[in-house]
Amino acid sequence: MTGPQLAPSMPVQTLDSLRQRAISLYVQYGSWRRVAALWGVSVGTVIRVASGYEPKRTGLRAALGLPPLVTLQTGPGVAITSGAILITSSRTCPCGRSFIPNHPSRTHCPTCRPPRRRK
Ligand SMILES: [Zn+2]
């Protein structure tokens, strides 16, 4: 058998990459049931993901390799809507952009503080 094999330890991925993978596996195997068996989830879940639905349950997200969701409580001056769903590793720069830090000490987005060039 050739093609992508989905291990339980799938890398963290976006909903869009997961959706595209579901569709390409369906094209490859011609069966949603088969894709569901490969992923270890229900047929309904696979079809919902393929149509763009974002799974919310923590265990299901982990099984699919999606990052956990957090609900954000915002205070004054925060440029993100309260209740927005964010990837837990994202941060907000004082300029208002959300970014994924490349280092734990990074507090500003790459636009405000471009990474230093190696000498
Ligand atoms: Zn910034």
Residue 27 backbone phi and psi in degrees, to 5? -60, -40
Show the tokens assigned to 17: 């990459």
Predicted local confidence at residue 80, as pLDDT: 66
What is the whole-number distance in angstroms between the Cα of residue 16 and the centre of ligand 1?
A: 26
State how far the Cα of 59 lies from the Cα of 68, in Å rounded to an integer: 9
Determine what percent of the chain is predicted with pLDDT higher than 90: 31
What is the whole-number distance in angstroms between the Cα of residue 76 and the centre of ligand 1?
A: 18
Highest average pLDDT, of 21-25, 64-68, 79-83, 97-101, comes from 21-25
What is the whole-number distance in angstroms between the Cα of residue 85 and the centre of ligand 1?
A: 20
What is the whole-number distance in angstroms between the Cα of residue 92 and the centre of ligand 1?
A: 8
Q: Quick one: pLDDT band at residue 4, thresholds 50, 70, 90? A: very low
Q: pLDDT by residue (tens digit) across 24-72?
A: 999 999 999 999 999 999 999 999 999 989 898 888 988 898 887 776 6
Cite the beta strand spans of 1-119 per DSSP E: 69-71, 85-87, 91-92, 98-99
Please give the DSSP secondary-structure letter assigned to residue 68: P
What is the whole-number distance in angstroms between the Cα of residue 83 and the centre of ligand 1?
A: 22
Q: Region 18-25: what's the mean pLDDT?
A: 94
